[in-house]
């Protein structure tokens, strides 16, 4: 689920768009499940995901990058400048 990298950490996510609110649900098939309120249209869910993670982790949005899964529910996101311990603490996992 979390893989340390030179720049920070990679996080495996399972996204549920069109939710009533943005929230972290917990583990789902080896990935962190996150509900996002935005619809999966024209990248809106990805933008909302980046903003939600940045706010939750208290980092700038530019430090959150979607590496894989731009159009799918399964995503790999890189969190730059945050180590594994900090990530687990801030995401409460």
- Looking at residue 21, the DSSP 8-state letter turns out to be S
Residue 87 lies in a domain: no
3-state secondary structure of 36: coil
Residue 59 lies in a domain: yes
pTM, rounded to two decimals: 0.94
**In the chain, how many domains are there?**
1
Residue 33 lies in a domain: yes
Kindly report the CATH number assigned to the domain that includes residue 18.
3.30.1200.10
Q: How confident is the model at residue 93 (pLDDT cuts 50, 70, 90)?
A: confident
Residue 64 lies in a domain: yes
pLDDT digits (tens, 9 = 90+) for 26-65: 999 999 999 999 999 999 999 999 999 999 999 999 999 9
Residues spanned by the domain of 6: 2-77
Residue 52 lies in a domain: yes
Contacts with 21 (C-beta within 8 Å, 6 or more apart), sequence order: 35, 37
Residue 89 lies in a domain: no
């Amino acid at each position: 689920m979390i893989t340390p990298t030179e720049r920070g950490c990679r996080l495996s996510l399972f996204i549920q768009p069109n939710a009533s609110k943005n929230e972290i649900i917990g583990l789902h098939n080896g990935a962190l499940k996150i509900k996002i309120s935005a619809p999966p249209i024209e990248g809106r869910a990805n933008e909302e995901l980046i903003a939600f993670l940045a706010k939750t982790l208290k980092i700038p949005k530019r430090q959150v990058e979607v590496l894989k899964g731009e159009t799918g529910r399964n995503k790999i996101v890189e969190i730059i400048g945050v180590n594994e311990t900090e990530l687990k603490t801030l995401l409460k996992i």
